[in-house]
Amino acid sequence: MKNSIRVFKSQSELASKLAEEVVRRIVASATVERPFAVALSGGSTPGLLYSLLGDEFSNAVPWEFVHLFWGDERCVPPDHPDSNYLIVKKHIIEKTGIPPVNVHRIKGEEDPSFEAMRYSAEITSILHDRDRLPVFDLVLLGLGEDGHTASIFPDRMDLLNSGRICEVAVHPVSGQKRLSLTGKVINNAEAVVFLVSGIKKAEVVKSILSQEDGASRYPAFHIRPVYGSLDWYLDEEVGWMRSVQPK
Ligand code: 6PG
């Protein structure tokens, strides 16, 4: 597993450099025979990245050869302010003209257990597989202060080794139901990128990247692509411990 850490002076530089990298990867590999399949992160951090992809970088991307999926979704309607789909709709889908058939929304308004099965089947129908698991070209992930990623929370470490592609989860504080890709699917990707900013996450990031004692309690610690690359895109508030090097 190739592992890299990149630290940027600001969130805007972080988003810009990551947008460049995402476009580079898409252009390098997306074809009509093999469209580029990306699972997008939820949360607020990637908003600037998505805005750049839908504006400054939009013309550089062959959107007809890109398939958008989500790493997780809140169990809310697509027009709900909590919806991870809504932010992508605003910044990318409405601006780029990406073909609707290339947008694979998790239907947060549906029964969660049923939607977990439906979304899993949709992923399986689009992506090729390896080790009997679907292969995403890129999985973008955020990181919670409790070390969660996607919607794999510390109280559901079993989702890291689930045999299912997508599972129902519950936010441990809000009780909000979620749908999330599972750990094995994420670790089967060709590339996983964590996008993390803000001082509140500095300790968790340091703990994970330094593999400190106790870091294994964080779900994100267990995101280690079997075949693919793992890159951390951090702003200075998070990555100020520049001495931190992945082991
Ligand atoms: C979600 C995300 C979740 C998120 C982290 C960080 O649906 O909320 O998938 O894993 O990436 O909680 O969220 P922020 O970017 O809002 O800090």
Nearest Cα residue to 136 out of 146, 147, 150, 148: 150
Residue 32 confidence (pLDDT): 86
Give the pLDDT mean for 216-238: 96
Q: Which pLDDT score is estimated for 44?
A: 96
pLDDT at position 218: 98
Average pLDDT over residues 205-228: 96
**110 contacts: CB under 8 Å, gap ≥ 6:** 118
pLDDT at site 11? 95
7: Cβ contacts below 8 Å, ≥ 6 apart: 234, 235, 236, 238, 239, 240, 242
Q: Which residue has the higher pLDDT, 240 or 114?
A: 114
Residue 241 has pLDDT above 70, yes or no: no
Q: Answer yes or no: pTM beyond 0.75.
A: yes
Ligand 1 proximity of 72 Cβ (cutoff 6 Å) = yes
Among 18, 40, 44, say which to mutate for ligand 1: greatest number of ligand atoms within 8 Å of CB. 44
Share of the chain above pLDDT 90, in %: 93
Q: Name, in order, each residue with C-beta under 8 angstroms of 243's C-beta and a sequence gap of 6 or more.
A: none
What is the predicted pLDDT for the residue at 201? Answer: 96
The pLDDT tens digits for 40-96 are 999 999 999 999 999 999 999 999 999 999 999 999 999 999 999 999 999 999 999
Closest Cα to atom 10 of ligand 1: 150
At 43 the pLDDT is: 97
Atom of ligand 1 nearest to the CA of 178: 7
